[in-house]
Chain A
């Protein structure tokens, strides 16, 4: 058990890499989610359909397969090369993006139609309404969901170890192969737990703050 102590620093570094990759993917997922989410709530049927297909695809294929596709498949198609870090970030961003689309869509739809009509009566255009009226209220619904997505990305980043990306889980496995006890995996589990549980508490606190007696 004590054999893991000299490796604790490595494990913490691995946890930081996990956080970094997940945060980067979350930001990209946010961008994707906002863009596709706005498209999905637009009036164009084709756009709605395309958004729906994207979400269905990502939710019907295992993350590992999406990751393999990003690391092995896309380079052959576009003749570019991805490092494991880039492929992991891309796959996680697309994965989180699909869930973000749902979160953004429900956020936008949580703003009642009467607000849209009132804005139109006041002569405020679509984009201004979106930016100054809808977005601040949509964040109330979207932000707690984003915390949940961040947790999924943190857990999902462990899958990137399979394409050779060295993050927390891979670090723990490497240490385990050297010292042959379960303790590195235990420590890694605790680190994951601290990161994710902390985030879920933060998410529920945000959600409580934003909830004040129902939608407007």
Chain B
């Protein structure tokens, strides 16, 4: 792969990141309401995607246990408890595995 192709890939990536934040006007209140609903579902989806590999294969036991630990503490609605729950879950998963 040449440097030119690499630079093109970088430009495509940067353009996709900057396009909405630079070119979009501030959204209307109606559109803003819809946009405000997007983050939680996207993060839940990303979490799911990281737990499923190719062909829907599940992640390793410790990783699933870590996710379960984080999920257990998610009602706290704070990142630190989720990280602690995830670490504890991972440790339990390793011990049981």
Q: Do A and B bind each other?
A: no
* Residues of chain B whose beta carbon lies under 8 Å from any beta carbon of chain A: none
